[in-house]
Every structure is written in C-alpha cells, then in structure tokens.
Amino acid sequence: MNKKVTLIDLGEKDYKDTWDYQEKLFQSILDVKVSNRREDKNEQTANYLLFVEHPHVYTLGKSGDMENLLLNEDQLKAKDATFYKINRGGDITYHGPGQIVGYPILDLENFFTDIHKYLRLLEETMILVLRDYGVESGRSEGETGVWLGVGTPFARKICAMGVRASRWVTMHGFALNVNSDLGYFDNIIPCGIRGKGVTSLNVELGVDYVDEDEVRAKIIKYFSELFEAQVVENKLEQ
C-alpha cells in the first residue's frame, strides 16, 4: 500500500480547468488499477492532494436541485461568477477567493475501503484545524461538512464537502471558508439546506484576514496524521 500523497498547490485556477486536471489524475489511478487486475500485476497507485483557490463559481452536484441557484445567467455575469453541473455528490455550493479548496485524489485501497470513514476523517481534519484557532466546530447529523453552533438557532456551515468515488478512487473534496466574501452565499441555498447560515474563519475570529498559508499547513498536518499518510509537495506542470 502506498501512503505517499503528492501535494500540488495550483494557486488560483479556473474551476473547469481544475476539474479537467482532477479527472486526468483520477483516470490515471483507475488505469493502473484496471491494468493490475487484468494483467495480474501489482503496480503501486498514486495519491494526490490538490490545493486551489477558484474565481467566483457555483457548482451543483449530481443530486442537486437547480432551484437552489437563485441567479439567472445574466445575474451570474453581473456577479462575475460561473456555474457548473458536476459529478460529485451533494447539492449546490460556492467557491471563490479567500476559500481553501482541497481535492484529495486518493486510492482508498492504500488506506481503508470505507467512504463513510473517509468523509468523517476529512471533517475531523477541519475540526482540528479550527480548534487550533479556538473555534469549536462539529458535525450536523445527516449533513456532510463542518458546522458551528449545531443544535442552536445559529447553526452555520464553515466547510462544505462533496466527493465522487469509483473503484475506491476519490475526487472533489472540501472547501473551507477562511476569508470568504459571504455575500456570494446569498445567491444560493447552500447545499440545499434552508434555515442555516454560512460563516468564515475570519468572521468567527473577528479579524479582517487569517493567514491562509498557515491554515493550509495545519490542514496538511492533521490530514497526514489522520490518514497516516506522508504528504510530499511536488510542483508538477499542469
């Protein structure tokens, strides 16, 4: 089992270009697995963790409802935002500047074959990161992601998650609001959940800006520990 995870920081990158890149890495892992089974080989499969910041974009998962997007095409243009229907689970969400988006593209057969455990460990990674900043967070029953104020009238989501998996290979992932413009969430019903809010780390801390490099470093630390992985940075050509 290969527990090495190649970290690739894409910086700011268009959503569709990043999606295509994810698909390329995802398919490369699947191809190795299929070849191994057909030809009775034992070639190791790779694992990746992509970090990226997207320009303003709304994405709708395969089980999502278009009515949860509250903007028409002209209004999207006015907001300088794009929209995509995509092949992850979940409903609608927003990505944009000030948000740390992570796409783990893992062969879970290198770690464990349990999608439920995979999602819970991603959530736990964020919970531990937030705890380092003195922000207590947790899970909301039946709602994937990381929340603050669960069980109160002020429940609010700080990290959205949606994944796709095939033959135990994952793609898509998490979006942690660090310095996000929360006004963009007013244009959707986030994750299709009514009556609950959205927040960002800088808002919870009452500051203008939180060091995003520091947050990314903490994500890597806790991801490595929880997945018992060796995360190695590698700047590849995209």
pLDDT of residue 63 exceeding 80: no
Closest CA to 232 of 1, 6, 2, 3: 6
Which amino acid, 44? Q
pLDDT on residue 190? 63
How many residues does this entry show for the chain?
238
Its pTM stands at 0.93
pLDDT on residue 61? 87
Q: Mean of the per-residue pLDDT values for the chain?
A: 93
pLDDT on residue 64? 84
Which residues pair with residue 59 across a beta bridge? 84, 93
Report d(CA 229, CA 7) in Å as an integer: 11
pLDDT on residue 89? 77
Strands 57-60 and 92-95: antiparallel
Tell me which residues are annotated as active site.
Answer: 191
Report d(CA 107, CA 171) in Å as an integer: 10
In the chain, domain spans: 4-233
60 or 112, which is more confident: 112
Report d(CA 61, CA 191) in Å as an integer: 9
Region 56-84: mean pLDDT is 90
Region 157-172: mean pLDDT is 95
Closest CA to 144 of 132, 155, 160: 160
Report d(CA 91, CA 192) in Å as an integer: 6
Closest CA to 185 of 161, 160, 165, 204: 160
Instruction: Give the tens place of pLDDT for each residue, 17-42.
Output: 999 999 999 999 999 999 999 999 99
pLDDT on residue 167? 96
Binding-site residues, please? Answer: 88-95, 160-162, 173-175
Rounded to whole angstroms, the maximal C-alpha distance in the chain is 57
Binding-site residues for substrate, please? Answer: 88-95, 160-162, 173-175
**CATH number of the domain at 4-233, out of 1.10.150.650, 3.40.50.300, 3.30.930.10, 3.40.190.170?**
3.30.930.10
Q: Is 92 exposed, middle or buried (0-12, 13-18, 19+ CB in 10 A)?
A: buried
Question: Cβ(220)–Cβ(126) under 8 Å?
Answer: no
Instruction: Give the tens place of pLDDT for each residue, 166-222.
Output: 999 999 999 999 999 999 998 888 655 555 789 999 999 999 999 999 999 999 999
